[in-house]
Structure 1
């Protein structure tokens, strides 16, 4: 399975997840960032936090793009906001985009299925409206047409547990280790699910 981890800058969380999963499995793994600047090295604290658990990892930031999204069978983000950005930018890949902790967890699985269906309903209605009216609709008209579906998505999202992994960027090494441990635990759960 090809797994892509995504965070903001691809210098902290997603490289940690990539390195840990590579260490624990034979899956093909890459990482990228929504706002990554190509070639920026992984943070020193990330390298040190991984070295503390005997994982040697150095890499440089890669922006997420169509090529990586197409390559991935599964895209795992560090926050719900990352997931939403990717789902907007790469709507064709929505069904394979999750937060790491959401996908790894069995908590609220039925709720996630309802939310996924609500997103599919929204996209289907958007396609029908676009087919019937083309690009003639204003932003206000689009919102009115899709209000019911958007309200349902918001209602379901409010019921979800928090599956975000906090960004340690700019914090001390202990914060990076805490983030590493949180990612490590989620990856253990992920492996139980996908193996």
Structure 2
């Protein structure tokens, strides 16, 4: 498998994740890149420090996302939903292999996203049906619909509130403690990713 991990500047989160994948999944070919990265910037000092604390030594120089890297990858994992959307806009043909790290690695997160998307779709179907049969004042349509479907709306709000984080926190420019927290997040999801890949063999 060829894995591309993407963040913003390719100096913190994605190189940390890349180093963890190299250690945890030596059979996977892995690269990292940044949507707004320049070639050749070093990893942030705090990233190097927390990785050394975790016993993971790595030398890193930043690289930008390119069409060649997107084509190279079998799987592209982003640090945030925004990164994913930006890549989808630029490389729509890569949609099938493009996910955030949390949604791809965690079955619980994937199941929660699926439930929420299904609830949204179901409510939208009901909204279209309701609008087509509604004969009253158009200004009252939304209020009447929300009143008629308050239980479904409350269910969606509960799902939204219980959603696992879709994004890996950006530690850039923040304290060493924030970097340690980000590393713990990355370790959790890379472990989940390793379990998933092993189980798919």
Using the size of structure 2 for normalisation, the TM-score is 0.72
Q: CA deviation at 1:113?
A: 8.8
Change (3 A) 1:111 1:48: closer
Q: What residue number does 1:56 align with?
A: 57
- 1:33 is matched with which residue? 34
Q: Which residue of 2 aligns with 1:172?
A: 175
Larger radius of gyration: 2
1:183 Cα offset (Å): 0.3
Question: Per the alignment, in what secondary structure is the counterpart of residue 20 of structure 2?
Answer: helix
User: CA offsets per residue over residues 110-159 of structure 1, 9 Å max, x none?
Assistant: 744995xx9xxxxxxxxxxxxxxxxxxxxxxxxxxxxxxxxxxxx9xx94
1:92 paired residue number:
93
For 2:176 and 2:113, locate their aligned partners in 1 and report how far apart those are by CA, in whole Å.
36
Q: For 1:73-100, what per-residue CA distance to the aligned partner results, in whole angstroms no more than 9, with x for missing partners?
A: 1100000000000111110001111000
1:73-152 pair list within 5 angstroms = 73-107=74-108, 108-109=110-111, 111-112=113-114
Query: What's 1:8 paired with?
Result: 8
Give the Å deviation of 1:43: 0.5
CA offset at residue 25 of structure 1? 1.2
Count of equivalent residues: 156
What secondary structure does 2:18 align onto? helix
* TM-score computed with the length of structure 1 as normaliser: 0.74
Structure 2 gap ranges (5+): 121-155
**SS where residue 38 of structure 1 aligns?**
coil
In the TM superposition, residue 106 of structure 1 has moved relative to its aligned partner by: 1.2
